Amino acid sequence: MQRNGHRSCVLWFTGLSGSGKSTIANLVDQLLFERGAHTYLLDGDNVRHGLCAGPNLLAPVYGSEFAERFGLGFGQQDREENIRRVGAVTELLANAGLICLTAFVSPYRKDRDLVRAWVERQNGPGTFLEVFVNTPLEVCMKRDPKGLYQQAIEGKIKNFTGISDPYEAPDSPELELRTAECSAEQCASQVLSYLTVQGILP
């Protein structure tokens, strides 16, 4: 679909915590803005406070029963529902003609494939672009600005991807970015080049 001077699509950044997903997605979003593209970026910061809020945020407003039923934690089923909800939003944004960027660990291949199928069924082939931010676990653990990996190792955080929960890497992503070898700025440029070659951007 072309409504805003460019084709719409979903750029789905996936990778371990600390891999650089959000940093690169934000850089790409800024570069697209500078080119006049219409975009929207979804990540844990703007989703986990509303659409996919946890029970602790919902309970004070809606009560504990509602919070337990609709609030999302970080277990496998909660992660699946989180990605399902985000996927539904990305489809709507792409259908409105935007370039939608997401930055989520999204650890399960099945969940990402389901989003791809839904987005492409509604918007056409090639509108879901999986971007694998491929950063070795040891590099992510060294970065770890919030100390999450250490807390997971100590058992203070349960269901943490890469430590106590698995991460299923994409089989054939449209793009693979290796942040241990390239800067975030170089990775963002790779994404822009890909969008241009694919005809998403004029």
- The helix (run of H) or strand (run of E) holding residue 196 is helix 184-197
At 5, is the secondary structure helix, strand, or coil?
coil
| Residue 52: φ, ψ to 5° | -120, 40
Which H or E run includes 135? none
Secondary structure E strands in 8-63: 9-14, 39-43
Report the C-alpha dihedral over residues 45, 192, 12, 53, rounded to 10 degrees.
Answer: 10
- Our measurement of the distance from residue 76's CA atom to the centroid of its chain's CA atoms, rounded to an integer in Å, reads 16
DSSP 3-state percent helix, strand, coil across the chain (nearest 5): 45, 15, 40
Of 8, 106, 172, 193, the active-site residue reads 106
Indicate if 193 belongs to the active site: no
| Alpha carbon distance, N-terminus to C-terminus of the chain | 13
Chain CA centroid to CA 199, Å: 22
Q: Which residues are part of the catalytic machinery?
A: 106
